Amino acid sequence: MGKPLFYEIMEKPASSTIIAICSFIWYYIQKKNISYSDVGLSYDTAMEGQYWRIITSSFSHISILHLVFNMSALWSLGVIEQLKSIGLGVEFYLQYTIVLVVLSGLLVLAFYHLLIHKVKLEHYKRVTAVGYSCVVFGWMTILAAKQPSTKLNLFGVLSLPISFAPFESLIFTSIIVPQASFIGHLSGIIVGYAVAWGLIHGMNNYWAVSMLGWIVLIFVWSLKKSGKIELGFIEIEPVTESVGLVANRSSRSLQMEELPLRVAQV
């Protein structure tokens, strides 16, 4: 018999908090009937200066199934918070969650840029990424590199050797869920390995708080600049023209993930 849920929550405080935040955001989006084109990340919106979407896209989900799948995987990966003895733990988890959210989002945009300008796949301008899967794949990769003997349990019925889990899951989701974002998942894996192998290192509470402060400033500034909010203490001319891009029927609809951009007002 397993531990009571309360004790598991106490052992995974950071994971539990993020799950609660994502669940509340999903509920709010559903209740307010907010379109995912208003919170998702696409190449076109990023080029318009809507950098705040890097954050909102990560914590937003398309459906209850989408939310449950990502959060159940995140809950299983919460074991990272209990591995302080090998250099992980709660502080590491919180510090590098910030890194994974930001860098995986930026890497997705970098891949889109290459596909659009080098491979000439113009439809990637309109592909909109939504979901926490980038970060989930990042943590899966870090755990695989740091603790390869660990088993990853999903839904209490599926157990995967963590050493193979990142690429097994990448292939599995691409086959079973064609709408899933291969690029988003791959970006999370790449950033995860960069952290696990020490290519990205040196994060501590000071740098985490500093980075979080800059994220908040850029988030608010880009919201103001795009005309999404009105803040009297920031004097920036909002964008006066609203450009809506409607995906044609041949565009891919990617869940997690990626959706054709829709015209919708909050």
Catalytic residue annotation = 133, 185
Q: Which residues contact 23 (CB under 8 A, 6 or more apart)?
A: 67, 71
Which of left, alpha, beta for 9 (phi over 0: left; psi -120 to 50: alpha)? alpha
SS3 state at 260: strand
Whether residue 136 contacts residue 155, with contact meaning beta carbons closer than 8 Å, is answered with: no
- What is the token pair recorded at 147? 């603790």
E strand or H helix that includes residue 170: helix 165-176
Q: Please provide the DSSP assignment of 42-71 as one string.
A: EHHHHHTT-TTHHHHHHH--SSHHHHHHHH
CA dist 23 and 46 (Å) reads 25
